[in-house]
Structure 1
Amino acid sequence: MRAYGRRKVLALAAGVLAAATACTGNSPAEPSKAAATSSATASPAPSAPVTAVTRAEAADEFFKLTATDDTLRAPNELQGRLDMELKDVVTGGQAPLTAAAFLSHDFAPPRYKWGTPKLFVPRFPPTEQAPWFSALATRDGSPTLLTFTKSPDRWRLSSAAELLPGQEVPEIQLDAEGYATAVAPDDRTVTISPQFMGPVHASVAETGTAGPTAGLLAPGPYTTEVAAQIAHLRDVLKNSDEQGGYSYDSIFSADNWPVYALRTTNGGALIQYSLSRTSTTTAVTKAAEGDGIPVPDPAQWALGQSKMRKTLRLVETHQYATVVPPLKAPAAAPVIAHDGALTRASGQ
């Protein structure tokens, strides 16, 4: 513990981030001559089931939205570009991440170069109020899993997570026409129902191998290692003779972020979801208050000063994709994709 200088440990505690985030159907039989002669009265052949969004429409929306995003990110004199992004282009966890990208880069955020997408389009009934689809495409050369959603009448980008090194998107179950199957929020055929994915991940990230959800997610830098990091910093900042005098905690929350799940060919699910993380450091002694709490570089744009006297609160938004096994073959679910950033900061 003593090997750490107060400033170094405080900077680490204040600025720690979670990581820098087809087959075909049978052909119809040839009609008989009798059937041909009675074609005027015969019923027409049934057409393919209709869907709320076709694969062609999904492809069109992908290219339209990524092109719009690129245009709005380009440095120009257009006022209100961030407002237009938040209104017309992004939603869900992408909203705070996009806002932070604009504000932290003086309204000239990084622009992306997109590759050709591989689409995963669920077949929704025409009455579906919030259809969605996913796409795997390179973003600046990195394979990225994205999800677009429509609500109420406009398509927006809701999630984007880069595949982690060595990871691949599992084989998605497709029907004869190439449409995917969405997994219901309360589906019980997988080891973690989509509606519980966020809370389970939040629990593992906070408690690691010691909590009630231990073993549900595979160990790694976005699960058990985060929990170990939090526990270590909490102990050092509170109890160390040289660095003590502070309280530290870091809480993950699923909030009301949307969750998207696709059925995989083995009966499992590819689940995409978002979490927020709030890390708080507080000076609890006069000596600690006198030293202050360093503001990490990623939060300078939000606070405009290098140190807080009493409290520093950092909020991050993270987006993930996790492959959940089927209940018939239970195993720890690996996180295969992530993206995230600090999106808000406050203190006094």
Structure 2
Amino acid sequence: MTLDEAAEVFSTVTVTSDTLRAESDLHGRLELALNLTTGGQTPLTVAAYLAHDYAPPRYRWGPPTLFVPRFGQGERSPWFSALATRDGTPTLVTFAKGDRWRISSAARLVPGEKLPEIQLDADGYATAVAPDDKSVTISPQFMGPVHASVAETGSSGVTGGLVAAGPHTTEVAEQIADLREQAKSDGFSYDSIFSADNYPVYALRTEDGGALIQYSLTRTTTTTTKTAEDDYIPVPESARWAISSQVLRRTMKLTETHQYATVVPSLKSPAPAAVIAYDGALTRASGQ
């Protein structure tokens, strides 16, 4: 995979995706759009089409800065990342190849954050970090589960201190605790759980010996009535595309898909991992 080939993939896939998002009478646009996605981008794309009557928001991409790892000839699942503006916001997007090149992850830089310096060789190629790499404070394969734990239990859990506090980590745990108490006082039971599922993980070596890790999490929130059946559960506006009723009688389940990019320090300079990019949305809703 050369840098020029990666640039062509970026252009072809993003332009094709944008063309399919334009409102038209083309039959099977969603199926065609899904041919351009994999990983967490698949449920996010389905939800974007269904929630906007098959005319999801279109994106304007700027020119990319490419981070292309060197892979051996036998690599079955090559991938590369690119930093580009999407509707004016710096976004880290990753493309992965199976039978074809597809968008797997896209996360917008959090305001005030910037991408760390990625380690490049003399020819401008990046270095991929192995899933079980032990040179960083959190191996890439464990980043998702650790993040999920912090988002559920906050700084007091067993993973507290491994990931920096913030709106996508400890503050989510605080929100869950508050909503659980509020639901209890309103006669409901409430729980919200994060899971890494089997989404792919991508990691690039940074100049300081750390890693930039990209991964996805699923958040499943369940609300159930505990008292009389006239204690209805209100359906949030964001879920009305999937649930036609404004209230539900017994239970409601909301599933969200979130994508992140997190900087993990080298073991030589241990510090909490920091989430620097995020994107996500409600991708499924059901109830009765």
- Same fold (TM > 0.5): yes
Gaps of 5+ in 2: none
1:5-38 CA-partner distances (Å, limit 9, x unpaired): xxxxxxxxxxxxxxxxxxxxxxxxxxxxxxxxxx
1:314 paired residue number = 254
Local SS of the residue matching 2:217: strand
Paired residues in the alignment total: 288
Local SS of the residue matching 1:276: strand
Local SS of the residue matching 2:131: coil
Distance 1:83 1:284 in 2: 40
1:106-145, aligned counterparts within 5 Å?
A: 106-145=53-92
Distance 2:218 2:74 in 1: 32
Q: What TM-score do you get using the length of structure 1 for normalisation?
A: 0.82
Q: C-alpha displacement at 1:291, in angstroms?
A: 2.4
Distance 1:237 1:98 in 2: 31
Segments of 4+ in structure 1 off by > 3 A?
A: none
Pick aligned residue for 1:278 from 220, 224, 228:
220
1:222-247 CA-partner distances (Å, limit 9, x unpaired): 00000011011112221x3xx2x110
Is 1:163 the counterpart of 2:103? The answer is: no
Distance 1:76 1:225 in 2: 41
1:226 paired residue number = 172
Pick aligned residue for 1:199 from 139, 145, 166:
145
1:4-83, aligned counterparts within 5 Å?
A: 53-83=1-31
* Structural RMSD (CA): 0.6
Distance 1:304 1:62 in 2: 37
Of structures 1 and 2, the one scoring higher in RCO (CA 8 A, sep 6+) is 1
Pick aligned residue for 1:299 from 239, 254, 269:
239
Distance 1:235 1:65 in 2: 45
The residue type equivalent to 1:276 in the other structure is T
Q: C-alpha displacement at 1:85, in angstroms?
A: 1.0
1:242-257, aligned counterparts within 5 Å?
A: 243=186, 245-257=187-199
Local SS of the residue matching 2:15: helix
1:117-141 CA-partner distances (Å, limit 9, x unpaired): 0000000001100000000000000
Local SS of the residue matching 2:284: strand
Distance 1:110 1:234 in 2: 33
Distance 2:182 2:279 in 1: 28
Distance 2:52 2:180 in 1: 31
The residue type equivalent to 2:216 in the other structure is S
Distance 2:74 2:124 in 1: 21
Distance 1:189 1:76 in 2: 50
Distance 2:223 2:253 in 1: 7
Q: C-alpha displacement at 1:275, in angstroms?
A: 0.2
The residue type equivalent to 1:261 in the other structure is A
Please identify the structure whose Cα radius of gyration is greater. 1
Distance 2:137 2:180 in 1: 32
Distance 2:220 2:119 in 1: 36
Q: What TM-score do you get using the length of structure 2 for normalisation?
A: 0.99
Distance 2:146 2:179 in 1: 22
Distance 1:148 1:68 in 2: 14
Distance 2:33 2:153 in 1: 36
